[in-house]
DNA sequence: TATGATAGTGTAAATATAACACTAAGTCAA
DNA sequence: TTGACTTAGTGTTATATTTACACTATCATA
């Protein structure tokens, strides 16, 4: 009867924090772990799930681009990654949750270092710029982007190069404080 | 046994939206209505209330400065207004909720027109500046503030003056779109 | 060795922000 | 009536930030 895809989720246990619960459900249903997790919003309209009253404390997680493997849990449907522009129909108000997460993330790009959560341990400035461009949905001037991101003094050269493809190799960078998301400016 | 002050709040009803519930509890316990309401964060640590598991979807409300009268509900303790610097000891993690609301509000002053929610229908620029200074906890240059706030084109002169006290009367302003909070810049 | 692909770099103009001090209009008291 | 006090109101200049913009470098491959 309800034939839509859902976001990963489940019920909070009696003796469990909300953050832990989100991490647990995510890992149980997708195998994904080692993520940046942030509470997004709590959705509680009375009939958002027509079967019963459900109040959802929604979280979003960001994961480094080299950690994308998924494994469906035994009791879960197939899992998969979907681009924002290729989302299947979602159950309940899950599309609203996605929209809000996207909005939150776009806003945070401007005033925090949250984008680094998507990066592998070493990355090129072009890759980092692509993260910004994809999330913001607009092109960014390459020189201005580099000037800006380097001025933050949050990333540094690794000294290595990535040689890949028929073109000039790119310098690799690393995040100086990989485990924190800072407010900038 | 628990002798601390609490924030207004209560349980969500079976057929009630979270926003409506927050508004209802606020009015029931304080008589306050006609507020700007925004969901803040959901607090769910297992023993934050030592009596039983309570997950709190916290909201904050802003109210115009000429609407500050309070009436205690029959079943509620005495209610009162408290400055941030004169807060009594609060129950559970309610101090954390206050701190987060203050933080959120400070941040929003910079990129939204949320401050107008505190203003009466007509107000002076000095009053508006005081709102910013109190919330941000720092002095603002008067000329720069006026230049900035007027450039937003979100307020306009009413044409009236407020004559009050032994000094030059102040021009009165009104908010052009009083029922919306805009993102600026 | 020419082609095609991505990496990498600097400068100048425009805009935004920050610093800063005096005059205006009222009340009140001497 | 005038001098003292109080808050309202106003512009300019320096600094910092943001934007616009085009060419060279290095590699693989044909």
**Domain residue ranges in chain B:** 1-111, 112-185
* The two structure tokens encoding residue B166: 């032994």
Distance from CA of A46 to the nearest CA of B (A): 5
The answer to whether A46 contacts chain B (CB < 8 Å) is: yes
pLDDT score at B76: 59
- Mean pLDDT within A113-141: 98
Q: What is the DSSP string of A4-31?
A: -B--S--PPPTT--HHHHHHHHHHHHH-
B44 touches chain A (CB under 8 A): yes
Residue nearest to nucleotide C3 (CA to C1'): A166
B143 touches strand C (CB under 7 A): yes
* Residue B169 approaches strand C within 7 Å at CB: yes
Return the closest-CA partner of residue A70 out of A61, A62, A60, A80.
A80
**pLDDT tens digits for range A142-152:** 999 999 999 99
Taking CA–CA distances from B55, the nearest residue in chain A reads A18
CATH number for the domain running over B112-185: 1.10.10.10
Half-sphere exposure of A156 (CA within 13 A, CB side): 5
CB contact under 8 A, B57 and A42: yes
Q: What is the pLDDT of residues B78-93, one digit of tens each?
A: 899 999 999 999 999 9
Strand C lies under 7 A from the Cβ of residue B51 = no
Predicted local distance difference test score (pLDDT) of residue B77: 72
Confidence of residue B70 (pLDDT cuts 50, 70, 90): confident
The answer to whether A17 contacts B45, with C-beta atoms less than 8 Å apart, is: yes
Share of chain A above pLDDT 70, in %: 97
> Averaged over A88-94, what is the pLDDT?
95
Say if B17 is an interface residue toward chain A (CB within 8 Å).
yes
pLDDT category, A138, cuts 50, 70, 90? very high
Give the per-residue pLDDT at A74: 65
Region of B137 on the Ramachandran plot (φ > 0 left; ψ -120 to 50 alpha; else beta): left
Q: What is the pLDDT of residue A72?
A: 75
Q: What spatial distance separates the first Cα and last Cα of chain A, rounded to whole Å? A: 50
pLDDT at residue A2 is higher than 60: no
Q: Which residues contact B130 (CB under 8 A, 6 or more apart)?
A: none
Of B136, B56, B69, residue with least CA distance to A55: B56
Residue B145 reports pLDDT greater than 60? yes
Average pLDDT, integer, range B29-35: 94
Mean pLDDT of A7-31: 97
Residue contact A17–B53, C-beta within 8 A = no
Determine whether the distance from the CB of B167 to the nearest atom of strand D is below 7 Å.
yes
- Please determine, for residue A120, whether its predicted confidence score (pLDDT) is greater than 90: yes
- The answer to whether the predicted template modeling score (pTM) of the entire model surpasses 0.85 is yes
Span CA (B81) to C1' (D26), Å = 67
Average pLDDT over residues A59-70: 95
The answer to whether the Cβ–Cβ distance between B44 and A57 falls below 8 Å is yes
Tell me what pLDDT residue A117 has.
98
B77 vs A162, residue with greater confidence: A162
Chain A residue with CA closest to B12: the answer is A44
| CATH code for the domain defined by B1-111 | 3.90.79.10
């Amino acid at each position: 009867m309800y034939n839509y895809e859902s976001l990963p989720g489940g019920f909070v246990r009696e003796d469990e924090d909300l953050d832990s619960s989100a991490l647990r459900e995510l890992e149980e249903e997708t195998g994904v772990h080692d993520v940046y997790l942030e509470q997004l919003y709590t959705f509680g309209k009375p009939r958002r799930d027509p079967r019963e009253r459900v109040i959802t404390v929604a979280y979003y997680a960001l994961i480094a681009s080299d950690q994308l493997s998924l494994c469906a849990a035994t009791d879960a449907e197939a899992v998969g990654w979907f681009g924002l522009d290729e989302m299947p129909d979602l159950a309940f108000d899950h599309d609203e949750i996605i929209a809000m997460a996207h909005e939150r993330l776009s806003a945070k790009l401007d005033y925090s270092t949250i984008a680094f959560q998507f990066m592998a341990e070493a990355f090129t400035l072009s890759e980092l710029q692509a993260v910004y461009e994809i999330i913001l949905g607009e092109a960014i001037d390459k020189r201005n982007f580099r000037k800006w991101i380097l001025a933050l003094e949050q990333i540094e050269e690794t000294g290595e190069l990535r040689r890949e493809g028929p073109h000039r190799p790119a310098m690799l960078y690393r995040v100086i404080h990989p485990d924190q998301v800072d407010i900038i400016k």
